[in-house]
Amino acid sequence: MLDYLTGINAVTILFVSLCVFAIGYRFYGLYIAQKVLVVDSQRATPAEKYADGQDYVKTNKFVLFGHHFAAIAAAGPLLGPVLAAQFGYLPGLLWILIGCVLAGGVHDMVVLFCSVRHKGKSLAYIASKEVDKTTGFVASWAVLAILILTLAGLSIACVNAMYNSLWSTYTVAATIPIAILMGGYMQYSKHPLRVTIGTVIGVILLFLCILTGPWVAEHPEYFGWLDMDKKTMSIVIPVYGFFASVLPVWLLLLPRDYLSTFLKVGTIVALAVGIVFVAPHFQMPPLTKFIGGGGPIVPGPVIPFIFITIACGALSGFHATIGTGTTPKMLDNEKNVLFVGYGAMLTEGFVAIMALVAACVLVPADYFAINSSAEHFQALGMAVHDLPRLEAEVQESLAARPGGSVSLAVGMAYIFSKIPWMEQLMAYWYHFAIMFEAVFILSAVDAGTRVGRFFLQEMMGKVYPKFADKNWLPGLISTSIVFTGAWGYLVYSGDITNIWPLFGISNQLLASVTLLIGTTMLIRMNKAKYAWMTGVPGVLMTIITMWAGVWLIMYQYLPAGKNLLAFLSAFVMVLMGVVIWGTVRRWFVLLKNHNVVKDEYGVEVKEIVQE
Phi first, then psi: give them for residue 602, nearest 5 degrees. Answer: 80, 15
* Whole-number Å distance between alpha carbons of 509 and 544: 9
Helix axis angle for 532-552 and 563-592, nearest 10°, is 160
Q: Per residue in 380-420, pLDDT tens?
A: 888 888 778 877 877 777 777 766 777 778 888 888 877 77
What pTM did the predictor assign? 0.83
Query: What count of other Cβ atoms lies within 10 Å of the Cβ of residue 462?
Result: 12
**Residue-level pLDDT at 91:** 94
133-162 and 563-592 are packed helices; what angle lies between their axes, rounded to 10 degrees? 140
CA Rg value for the chain:
23
The band of 467, judged by pLDDT with boundaries at 50, 70 and 90, is confident
Q: How far apart are CA 298 and CA 305, in angstroms?
A: 8
| Bridging pattern class, strands 604-606 and 596-598 | antiparallel
- Rounded Cα distance, 478 and 534, in Å: 37
Predicted confidence at residue 498, as pLDDT, reads 62
Nearest alpha-carbon partner for 449 in 250, 172, 245, 156: 245
Inter-helix orientation angle 426-461/387-394, to 10°: 80
C-alpha span between 36 and 59 (Å, rounded): 25
Is residue 128 within 8 Å of residue 136, measured between CB atoms?
A: yes
Q: Where is mean pLDDT largest: 256-260, 473-477, 599-603?
A: 473-477
Distance, in Å, from the CA atom of 146 to the CA atom of 34, rounded to the nearest integer, reads 32
Residue 305, H or E segment? helix 302-309
More confident residue, 95 or 326: 95
Nearest to 404, CA basis, from 267, 493, 309: 309
Average pLDDT (52-56) is 77
The answer, yes or no, to whether the previous bond of 46 is cis (omega within 30 of 0) is no
How confident is the model over 509-523, as a mean pLDDT? 91
> Taking a C-beta distance cutoff of 8 angstroms, is the pair 561, 568 a contact?
no
597 φ, ψ (degrees, to nearest 5): -130, 170
Q: Rounded distance, CA 387 to CA 406, Å?
A: 12
- Cα diameter, the chain: 74
DSSP helix/strand/coil, 598: strand
So what's the pLDDT on residue 2?
57
**pLDDT attached to residue 33:** 94
Mean pLDDT of the chain: 83
Mean pLDDT value of segment 294-303: 85
| 67/69 Cα distance (integer angstroms) | 6
Length of the chain: 611
pLDDT tens profile 190-248: 888 777 888 888 888 877 877 787 788 778 878 888 888 878 888 888 888 888 777 77
The CA distances from residue 489 to 24, 446, 495, in Å, are 41, 16, 11
Confidence band (pLDDT; 50, 70, 90) for 425? confident
Q: In this structure, are residues 417 and 358 in contact, taking their beta carbons and an 8 Å threshold?
A: no
Q: Which helix (H) or strand (E) holds 606?
A: strand 604-606
